[in-house]
Structure 1
Amino acid sequence: MSSVNSTGPSHPLTFLLVGIPGLEKEQFWIAFPFCIMYAIAVLGNIILLIIIKTESSLREPMYLFLAMLAFTDLALSTSMLPKMLTIFWRGSREIGFFSCLVQLFFVHNFTTMESGVLVAMALDRYFAICHPLRHSSILSMPVVAALGSLVLLRGVIMVAPCCFLLHRKAFCQHRVISHSYCEHMAVVKLVCEDTRVNAAYGIFVALAVAIFDLTVIIVSYTMILREVLKLSASDTQLKAFNTCVSHVCVLLTFYVPALFTSLTHRFGHSIPQHIHILVAHLYMLVPPTLNPIIYGVRTKQLREKIAVLFQRKGN
C-alpha cells in the first residue's frame, strides 16, 4: 500500500467512507431530510448570531453563551454533513488521510465544546435564578470570555491527542471506514498495531466529559428546581420554569443520543450498525437544527427581535 511517509508509519493515501452500512441503496433518499435539517440549522443559527451581534440589549451572559452555542452548532454540522452528502448523492467516498484526521478533530472537538457551552449555560441559569442580585457581578464580561476560552481550550487539549496517536500508528490494507464521517473508533479499527491506548484514551475523554459536564448540569438544575419551588407567586414560578424548559430540551436532544452512540460503539454489539450510524447522525444534526427554534420560540426577547428583523426585510 502507498504510504504518506515511507520512513514513518504506513498511512493510506485515502480512506473510503461507506456511508450507512446496510442502507447503501436507501441513503440517497435519506440524504434529503438530512440536507433539510442542515439548511434549517445553518439559517437558524446564522440568524441568532446576527441578532445577538447587532442588538446591544442582548449583551447578557445568557445570549453570549447562546451565540457560542450557535457558532459551535454551525461548525459541528458543517464539519461532517457536506462530505456526507457527497457520499450519499454522488458516491464520492474517498477522503484523504490527513483530511480524515482533520475532520475527526473538528467533529469531536466541537462535540466536546457543545457540551462545555451547555455547562456554562446551566451555570448561568443557576446564578440568574438562585443568586439574581450577584448574577451580573459573578458572570461579568471577562468571566464569560474566560469561560468561552476555557471551553475551546478543553476541546482542543482533549481531542488533539486522539489525532496524534492515530498519526503514529500503521494502518492495514483494509481502508474502508464503516461510517459516513471519520469517527474516532471507526478509524481506530483500521489500525494494524495494538490500539488499546487509543481505545482507552477515547473512553477516558468520553467519560470525563460526560461525567463532569452532566454532574455540573444535574446539580445546577436540582438547585434551580429547589429555589423555584420556594417562590410564593405562581406567575414567578411559571416564568422561572419557562426560562429553564428551553435549556432542558436542548440538553435532552444532545446528551441522550450522544450517550446512546458512545455506549453502543463499545458495548452494544447486538444493535444493528445502521441504527448506530443513524443515531450518530441525529445527535450531530438534531441539536443544531432545534436549538435556534427552541430558543427563538421560547425566549421572548429573541422572538421579538426575530419578528422585527423579518418585518424590516418585508418592507
Structure 2
Amino acid sequence: MSDSNTANFTNPSTFILLGIPGLEEAHVWISIPFCAMYAIAVLGNFTILFIVKREPSLHKPMYYFVCMLAITDLVLSTSILPKTLSIFWFSSREIDFNACLTQMFFLHCSTVVESGIFVAMAFDRYVAICHPLRHSTILRNHVVAKIGLAAVLRGGILVLPYPLQARKWPYCRTSIIPHSYCRHTAMLMMSCADIHASSYFSLSVPFLVTGLDLVFIAVSYCQILRALFSLPTKEARFKSFGTCSSHLCAFLVFYIPEALSSVMHRFRHHVPPHVLILIANVHLLASPMLHPVIYGMRTKQIRNRLQQFFSHKRT
C-alpha cells in the first residue's frame, strides 16, 4: 500500500458500516422484525420500570434488580439498533470515529453489566430461599444500590480499555466494517498495529466474566436446590422454586443465544458471514425483548399490577 493511502486511513474520521453484506437487497425486509423486536423491548422495559415505580409493594430487592436489568436492556438495544435501522432504511452507512468507539463501549459494557445483574439476582434468590428470615436485613436498599453500582463499575472498568486501545491504533487497511455495528473484534481486524496483546485481552474478558458469573450462579442454585429438597412437602418445594422461575428463564434467554453465537463464530469458516451477523443482531435484541415478557407473564405481582392498570384504563 502506498504512503498516501496509508496516511488516508491512519486516523479515519468516519467508518463505513455495511449492514449485512450479501443481503443488501433484503435490508428493508430484515428491518421489519428488527424494528418490531426493538419496539417490544422499549415498550416492555419501560412498562416494567413504570409498574415497579408506581407500586409500593414491588419496592423489594428482587424488583430493583429487575429494574436494573430493564435499564441495561434499554441501553444495550438502543446502542445498536437505531444506527442499524438507518443503514437498512436510508443507506446511512457512515459512522463517526468517536461515535463508533462510543457504540462499541456501551455495547460491550452493557453485556458485562447484564451478566453481573444475573449474579446479583441469583444471590437474591439464594438469600430469599436459604435465609428467608435474614433477607430483609442482608439485602437492604443501600446494599442493593451498592451491588448495582459494583456491576456497572465492573463493566466500565473491564470494557474501557477497548475504546482507549482502538483510539490509539493506526488504521491502514480499510475503513469499511462488514457489520451492522461497531464490534471490538472488527476494529482489531482493521488495525495495522501489533494487536496481539489487545486480542488476548478481548478474548479473556468475556471468557473470565462469563465463566466466573456462571460459577457464582451455579453455586447459588446448588445451595437453593439443597434448601428446597429439605422442605417437607412437594407443594412447598414447588412454591419456593416458583420464585426462581422468572430469573432462570431470563438467565437462559441471555446466555443460550450468547453461547450459540460464540459457537457459530468458532466455526465461522463454515458459516456464511451474513448468517453470523444475523445471529449476532438477534442475540443482542432477543434478551431485551423477552425479559419484560418473562417478568410480566411469570411474576404474579407484576402481572396483577398490569391487569389492574389496564382494567382501570377501560373503566
Tell me the TM-score normalized by structure 1. Answer: 0.94
Mapping of 1:1-315 within 5 angstroms?
10-265=10-265, 268-315=268-315
Structure 2 regions of 5+ residues with no counterpart?
A: none
Aligned residues: 310
Aligned residue for 1:26, secondary structure, equals helix
3-state secondary structure, aligned to 1:79? helix
Displacement of 1:296 in angstroms is 0.7
Contact 2:23–2:274 under 8 Å retained in 1: yes
Residues 181-232 of structure 1: CA deviation (Å, up to 9, x unaligned): 0011012111011111221111111111111111111111122122212222
**Secondary structure at the counterpart of residue 270 of structure 2:** coil
Per the TM alignment, residue 271 of structure 1 is displaced from its structure 2 partner at its CA by: 2.4
User: 1:88 offset after TM fit, Å?
Assistant: 1.1
Supply the distance in 1 between the matched residues of 2:266 and 2:233 (Cα, whole angstroms).
48
8 Å CA contact retained: 1:206, 1:262: no
Retained in 1: the 8 A contact 2:79–2:106?
A: yes
Partner of 1:20: helix, strand, or coil? coil
**How far did residue 147 of structure 1 move?**
0.2
CA deviation profile, 1:90-146 (whole Å, cap 9, x unmatched): 111110111000000011111111111111001101111111111111111111010
Distance 1:145 1:228 in 2: 28
Between the aligned partners of 2:271 and 2:223, the Cα distance in structure 1 is 37
**How far apart are residue 233 of structure 1 and its match?**
1.8
CA distance in 2, matches of 1:149, 1:45: 20
Aligned-pair distance for 1:272? 2.1
Q: Is the 8 A contact 1:38 1:289 kept in 2?
A: yes
Are the structure 2 counterparts of residues 306 and 261 from structure 1 closer, same or farther at C-alpha, using a change threshold of 3 Å? Answer: same
Q: What letter corresponds to residue 235 of structure 2 in structure 1?
A: D
Determine the C-alpha separation between the residues in 1 that align with 2:155 and 2:217: 18
Distance 1:123 1:170 in 2: 44
1-structure distance, mates of 2:136, 2:110: 28
Letter in 2 for 1:85: L
Q: How many angstroms apart in 2 are the aligned matches of 1:308 and 1:179?
A: 44
CA deviation vs aligned residue, 1:3-32 (integer Å, no higher than 9, x gap): 9xx9xx922111111111222222221110
Amino acid at match of 1:163: P
Letter in 1 for 2:36: I
Moved over 6 A (4+): none
Distance 1:280 1:117, change over 3 A: same
* Deviation at residue 263 of structure 1 after TM alignment: 4.7
* Matched position secondary structure for 1:119: helix
Does the CA-based 8 Å contact 1:17-1:181 persist in structure 2?
yes
Instruction: Tell me whether 231-240 or 301-310 shows the greater mean CA deviation.
Output: 231-240
Gaps of 5+ in 1: none
Query: One-letter code of the match for 1:274?
Result: H
Give the deviation of 1:150 after TM superposition: 0.2
TM-score, scaled to structure 2: 0.94
